[in-house]
Structures are given as C-alpha cells and as structure tokens.
Amino acid sequence: MKLSNGVEWSLHSCVTLSQSSGAVSAQRLAELHQIPPAYLAKHLQALSRANIVSSVHGQIGGYRLARPPEAISLLDVVDAIDGGEALYRCMEIRQRGPLGLAPESCARPCAVARAMRTAEDAWRNALSSTSVADLAVAIDEDSGGTAMADVRRWLKA
C-alpha cells in the first residue's frame, strides 16, 4: 500500500503557492519540480475541487491558495488527493460463514474495525496538526533561511 505521489507534489506545490501573491500556472509549478505538467494539473484539479486552491482561467491564470496557508493542513491535502476514504474498510466478514452474526446484532462496528479506526484517527489527527505554513517555515529553516526567498525570486522571474 502506497500513498500517491500526487500527495508529495501537491504539498510542495502548496508551499510554493504560499510564497506567491499572484496565480501560478500548473506548467510553471511542474517546471520548478521537474514533474509531468499534465499529471500535476490533474492533481491540482483535485485540490481545486476540495477548495484548497482556487483556479483562475485566462492568459495570466493559474492557481493560488484558496485560504491562508495556516488554515490548510496536511490532512486536507491528503484527503483531497486520495479521496478521503478510510485506509481500512470493514467487509463485515463477521456476518458470514457458519458462525455469522445476524445483521441486527451488528449495530456497533466490528472490534477489529474499531481498533483500526482508532489508529487511523491518530494518523489523521497528526496530519491535521501541521499546516502548509508550518512546512514552509521548516523548509526555510533547513536551508538556513534562503529557500523561500529563492522561491519568491524565481516566481517573479
């Protein structure tokens, strides 16, 4: 089981967008990260549908963040790209077979599903506690404080 690469690209793209005042085209974002432009565009569409970025058509069009970067969590992006469905989906096999339970006695989720759900909630909770703004700060600090300035400069060029 692997998370889509689109998650990584989307997160880096969001960080980049957080440094831009204007709209940035998918073409240009793809150029910055050296990734297939059309495929990145597909993922940006998903972000647009999830109201994480807003798109603007036309010659000077592109994408911009729909909200302040502090208000966009990693969970928002992961759910937008991945569909927001649970990693573990209970097939209710407890209702099948010779010892199968009757559906009316299955009001509560299966104990296995509950445990998996609890773990997944821990994951989602951790994801939602970090924002795109936090990422930008962390990346900038890793570079000694030059990375985000470089991005802003490159965006203007």
Partner DNA sequence: GGGGCGCTACTCGGATACTGTATGTCCGAGTCGCAGCGG
Partner DNA sequence: CCGCTGCGACTCGGACATACAGTATCCGAGTAGCGCCCC
Q: How far is the CB of 97 from its own copies (least distance, A)?
A: 4
Q: How far is the CB of 81 from DNA (least distance, A)?
A: 8
Between the two ends of the chain, the Cα-to-Cα distance in Å is 40
Contact indicator for 43, 10 with CB cutoff of 8 Å: yes
The single-letter DSSP state of residue 42 is H
Residue 101 binding its own copies, by CB under 8 A: yes
Q: How far is the CB of 68 from its own copies (least distance, A)?
A: 18
Q: Which is nearer to its own copies, 51 or 146 (CB)?
A: 146
Per-residue binding string, its own copies, 24-63, x by CB under 8 A, is: -------xxxxx----------------------------
Residue 85 binding its own copies, by CB under 8 A: yes
Residue 115 binding its own copies, by CB under 8 A: yes
The total of other beta-carbon atoms located within 10 Å of residue 111's CB is 9
Report the distance separating Cα 10 and Cα 32, nearest Å: 13
Q: Which residue has the tokens 């299966």?
A: 110
